[in-house]
Structure 1
């Protein structure tokens, strides 16, 4: 492999022209993936890839269990957490855009054992994501018809997800761009229309206002609020997907900060305002809510809000958008799971076969295992209540996500510590998070506290006595993570931490030239104007 001379990190002039990989074909130096995605792709994936079952359907089960105030506060807390994590992702993914991103960051800056536990746990979370989104598709379609068997629906859409994932990566990215654009446009319609219907502007002219907030803002007290948190966290899980996509992006220094800069919009519009308009329109005791105890139709609270206001056309359009959302989330879960396996293999923590990708960057072994197991788990929905399966799987995913977010923040803290310890200047970083260290410490602390609080809920469940079945159904992912970590510790032994002074900060690092990798060198007045605008908004 031909490379430029590796200059000293103190030679700033050399750093400006440094490039790591000059091989033809846009292959990454650290994997067989191809760097063919653009800023548009990664921005839209960051905006919409995680908008799926967790918000559109999960808000119903949360409302029934916790009440309107608990739902709103739950999304507010989860939003502050993922915003903090996104600050760490933005800085780390620019410097180290690797196939499994946070798994490899953890191995580099924390320890191999934590990386092993995180990587395999996250891979299983993506497998669960495929199963959960396939189950959601069945729930959505049964709003229109229940004549086709559940297994048939799952099989049809699982085949479509597989076809998308075995296409070239730009096909997956373009699908996400289309889906995210639809979701992003529709959320404006949802927020405005549901505020209008709450004020009595619907065909039924019934003014709801803050009726449900006044009647019972919190259902089941503090336990009800805790019971809401797994769904809120599950809804925001996969927000870190853009860190994985960075490895296949032409210019992460440009793409990643822009993508992560859109997180505030996604949090405020999709989750916080979206959850808020549901709480002012839908009765928490409505038996038709998804996950409600009434045994109704298991419908999205957004659809219920439109139907009860007499807006049936909007109810059908809402259901169609939910279908697109959960379908795209299932597709991106297959993509992310296969890339996690590739990163683990690059670290020597998974069979070497998972390193392999074909000439257009498809990791066949990772795709086969991820889509195969995810598809098999999807059939749990055939003999079980959809809301019950959702509760089990979202609880497992939420706890894995909390562990992952904690490791991302910890790796970022260790990265900055190592950078300073080895005498490097923060000004030399290609991108710097303005919220460090406060965001990283908040993300780490909040994740740990929530893991502990959810242990309390697993031992003393809402509306029941302590029992082993409930504990293992809701907390087994933490037990699995501990088992993976301790097993890896026994195998690797050595120190509990990677010694900061021994970390090679330039290994697997992406260096950047002053040339824009997506458009090539820019000249003239336009280039100077763009540089000035970039300076103002940086």
Structure 2
């Protein structure tokens, strides 16, 4: 320790043990492996980087953008993704600072408990868990929409049942297997986006066999459909499309070396934002008319604006490949939502906010109880799609998830601001942080500001819905997430009582911190053999 009582970011094992003894029950072994958890550190930098790059790319971008395009127009869709992208970029930098030093099972829930307040942590943790099984339900109903492109002969309930089982198997086989599936899915999505960008530019320029030059025709015709309210209406879809980006914080607890893996994941965020969301949405606006009846929620079966672009251009093979990539994306997002939901329950258990059974994992590091209940509720909820249209169910679920997500993102930014404040008032130097974001504090402030503004904006849109008059049904269908958060928070406040804020001067900054023995920590990985080993080695060369 220095004169101010702070611990250096890297300590020898002997000094680390001496430092930890006064904390009461925490040992160097505990902190080195994720204190008081049964999780294994079986994922690598490659897993975390690829999960950060592609795990959230699912139904929101590939399918939901169609509804937003028809409701709000090309300019609103493009600007909506830019604004949402700037928010998640800021959130990711806040996550980076905390995930390196505090790689905990439910990450943001436990950070909130440490730096803000137990009541806020309670409402955040349960709200996030709700959003994860809602996302599973949404992605499963998205499978039905995607597969209807090829056939409508199979009953909706049958498709849901089949791929519900697939998502369950991905999560329960092994954590390592889950990581490899996500790497494969992210690699496919990441590689395909280059094809999408190049081919859509060619289509817009008039190089497709069935369609002449388009350019910015649709922007010139009606860039902002339904004006400002139309722009607000795209925000839930944009937020839903990016929700899950913060899951890299959860994966950090099961990563070999968070100090190496997390900064790389944060550093790659701009690639996903620019390629997938910003350029991806721009490609939609220059190739697909907002009036196309086949857009998601319309009368056709193409649904995805990307598929429609290829179909209209006479590029049927690319349309089929695009639909297959969307199918993989939807399954991937559903799978990681099951993973994240079970880890969130584990973190709540460690805070004594959930039944103890959810805090345990088996010998392979799988929190089976948490997986079971998350996947059971998410899969069961997806059967709403049997009696309602896919677009209607998507709108319900995306509105619910986007508001939960905004609450979570805002709390993450606030936790980062509080962590730095506690660090400062306790006389510690920022040089002792294992990793520092160059965007602090402006990034955290930017993210928190827009999360609050967008929650208020969604209140306006829920009260005065697009194309309708105020009514209780639409208001609660769109804004019930906030109602749930408020109820959870008030209930927790009544139970925990105490001050509204944790006193920054009393926060124990070391109890749940991971100490790095060596500033040059490296991951230890088994030798990879066979054809799969060659592929994994190549991935390591690219992302390490």
State the TM-score, normalized to the length of structure 1.
0.93
C-alpha separation in 1, matches of 2:115 and 2:513:
13
2:9·2:515 contact (CA, 8 Å) conserved in 1? Answer: no
Whole-angstrom CA distance in 1 between matches of 2:320 and 2:117:
50
Matched, 1:255 2:284: no
Q: Secondary structure at the match of 1:240?
A: helix
- In structure 1, the residue matched to 2:231 is 225
1:210 to 213, 216, 222: 216
The CA deviation at 1:13 is 9.1
Query: What is the alpha-carbon distance in structure 2 between the residues aligned to residue 366 and residue 120 of structure 1?
Result: 13
- Separation (CA, whole Å) in 2 of partners of 1:10 and 1:107: 21
Structure-1 separation of matches of 2:227 and 2:445? 28
**1:103-502 maps to which residues of 2 (within 5 A)?**
103-292=109-298, 295-297=299-301, 299-502=303-506
CA distance in structure 2 between the partners assigned to 1:167 and 1:481 by the alignment:
33
Distance 1:369 1:166 in 2: 13
User: In the aligned structure 1, how far is the partner of 2:234 from the partner of 2:183?
Assistant: 30
What number of residue pairs does the alignment pair up? 514
Normalised by the size of structure 2, how large is the TM-score?
A: 0.92
CA shift, 1:22, in A, is 5.7
Q: Distance in 2 between matches of 1:8 and 1:322?
A: 53
CA–CA separation in structure 2 for the residues paired with 1:24 and 1:213: 57
SS of corresponding position for 1:260: helix
Q: Deviations along 1:103-142, whole A, 9 cap, x unmatched?
A: 0000110000000000000001000010000000010001
**Which structure 1 segments of 5+ residues have no match?**
521-538
* C-alpha distance in 2 between matches for 1:23 and 1:487: 36
Report if aligned partners of 2:31, 2:515 keep a CA contact under 8 Å in 1: no
Structure 1 residue 71 corresponds to structure 2 residue 67: no
In 2, the alpha carbon distance for the partners of 1:7 and 1:38 equals 36
Structure 2 stretches lacking a partner, 5+ long: 18-26, 526-544
Distance across 2 between alignment mates of 1:504 and 1:332:
31
Question: Residues 254 and 73 of structure 1: is their aligned pair in 2 closer, same or farther, counting only changes over 3 Å?
Answer: same
Q: Secondary structure at the match of 1:378?
A: helix
SS at match of 1:194: helix
Q: Deviations over 1:27-75 (max 9, x none)?
A: 4223110111100000000000000000000110010100000000000
Return the alpha-carbon distance in structure 2 between the equivalents of residues 143 and 327 of structure 1.
16
**Shift, 1:297, TM fit:** 2.4
CA-CA distance at 1:399 after TM superposition: 0.3
Tell me the secondary structure at the aligned position of residue 424 of structure 1. coil
Q: How does 1:500-511 map to 2 (within 5 A)?
A: 500-511=504-515
Per-residue deviation at 1:192?
A: 0.4
Q: Name the counterpart of 2:64.
A: 58
Q: CA RMSD in A?
A: 1.8
Give the CA deviation at 1:299.
1.2
Deviations 1:389-421 (A, max 9, x none): 000000000000000000000000000000000
CA 26–148 in structure 1, closer or farther in 2 if over 3 Å, else same: farther
Question: Which residue is 2:541 aligned to?
Answer: none
Native 8 Å contact 2:134 2:378 kept in 1: yes
Distance 1:500 1:175, change over 3 A: same
Cα 1:111–1:24 shift into 2, 3 Å: closer
Determine the C-alpha separation between the residues in 1 that align with 2:9 and 2:165.
Answer: 52
SS in 1 for 2:79: helix
